[in-house]
Amino acid sequence: HAKKQGRNGYRFFEPNMNTDVRLQMQLQQDLRQAIHRDELELYYQPKMVAPDGPVTGLEALLRWQSPTHGFLTPDRFLSLAESSGLIVPIGNWVINEACRQMKVWFDQGHGDWSVAVNLSAVQLEHTSLVDVVRTALEEHELAPSHLVLEITESTAMRDAEASLKVLNQLSALGVSISIDDFGTGYSSLLYLKRLPANELKIDRGFITELAQGNDDEAIIQAIIALGKTLDMKIVAEGVETSEQQALLTRLGCDALQGYLLGRPGPAGGLLKEAVPPEKAPEPTPVFQ
């Protein structure tokens, strides 16, 4: 019963449809076209050992420059991409594009960098993932050690045993596995021990109000001890102040990520200086 041609020019919307629903439907229609219309872009945020230290890796963060909806971050379209299944082709594009860019950086002399890609549960559960990753690495002649796949505990736990199988296959390829937003999920320590993970990222939620002697410091200490016991590299997310940076470094984090070190920005040159968040709203690039 979709209208043939609405007054507004959109075919599939009932005129009395709730505005939110309409917007979601239009977003989904447009997102479907976004890949081949070349509207998706990856921003990159550095992972660093210290503010003045070297970059060790970069996390690829998806952005959608839509002609109708504007510049969108994942909070505006990721759940829609997941529920519609569009996250599979989009995620494949992300993996491929991140490998392509990493190869460019490698050829420019950044042989010690790795690029991290976020994975949704839908991607992890899709049968093609291992092949997609293997093919992307081959196509761009990129060594697997330059690719990190970030999954959250909740992503892995949706189908815990199946996830473990796929993650073991990915790990066998030689790519690294990173546990994102650690501390927000509900996986058991036993499961964590079985995961073939190389890196653990402490969720921003524990960093925001971090101060010496408070509960967050104690929790972070415990997470670091746990991660190190399981032989994982520890990364802190959402580092915004030099006080947080100093404390996290002293507590033993191996790398830091956050606005203090660098904001996400388009691929492009080398980091010049970290800009305080309030002075540099996105999409100010970290790279110039």
Residues forming contacts to ligand C2E in the complex (CB under 6 A) are 45, 61-62, 73-75, 78, 87, 91, 94, 118-120, 150, 180-181, 237-240, 258-259, 264
CB of 8 to Mg ion, least distance (A): 35
Distance in angstroms (rounded) separating the CA atoms of residues 173 and 167: 10
CA atoms 120, 27, 15, 20: torsion sign: positive
Sequence-distant (6+) residues with CB within 8 A of 79 are: none
Task: Tokens for 31, please give them.
Answer: 């997102």
Q: Which does 157 bind (CB under 5 to 8 A by kind): Mg ion, ligand C2E, none?
A: none
**268: number of Cβ within 10 Å:** 10
Contact (Cβ atoms closer than 8 angstroms) between residue 55 and residue 45: no
CB of 182 to ligand C2E, least distance (A): 10
Length of the chain: 288
CB of 201 to Mg ion, least distance (A): 6
Stretch that binds Mg ion, among 11-19, 92-100, 131-139, 233-241 (CB under 5 A): 233-241
Q: Which does 97 bind (CB under 5 to 8 A by kind): Mg ion, ligand C2E, none?
A: none
Select from 47, 58, 105, 150 the one that contacts Mg ion (CB under 5 A): 150
Place of tokens 């066998």: 172
Q: Which does 283 bind (CB under 5 to 8 A by kind): ligand C2E, Mg ion, none?
A: none
- Long-range contacts of the stretch 132-140 (C-beta < 8 A, 24+): 132/92, 132/95, 132/96, 133/95, 133/170, 133/173, 133/175, 134/173, 136/95, 136/96, 136/99, 137/99, 137/173, 137/175, 139/96, 139/99, 140/96, 140/99, 140/100, 140/102, 140/103
Q: Of residues 71-100, which lie at the interface with Mg ion (CB under 5 A)?
A: none
Stretch that binds Mg ion, among 30-38, 119-127, 143-151, 265-273 (CB under 5 A): 143-151
Q: Which does 45 bind (CB under 5 to 8 A by kind): Mg ion, ligand C2E, none?
A: ligand C2E
Q: Which does 61 bind (CB under 5 to 8 A by kind): ligand C2E, Mg ion, none?
A: ligand C2E
Would you say 84 or 120 has its CB closer to ligand C2E? 120
Q: Which does 56 bind (CB under 5 to 8 A by kind): Mg ion, ligand C2E, none?
A: none
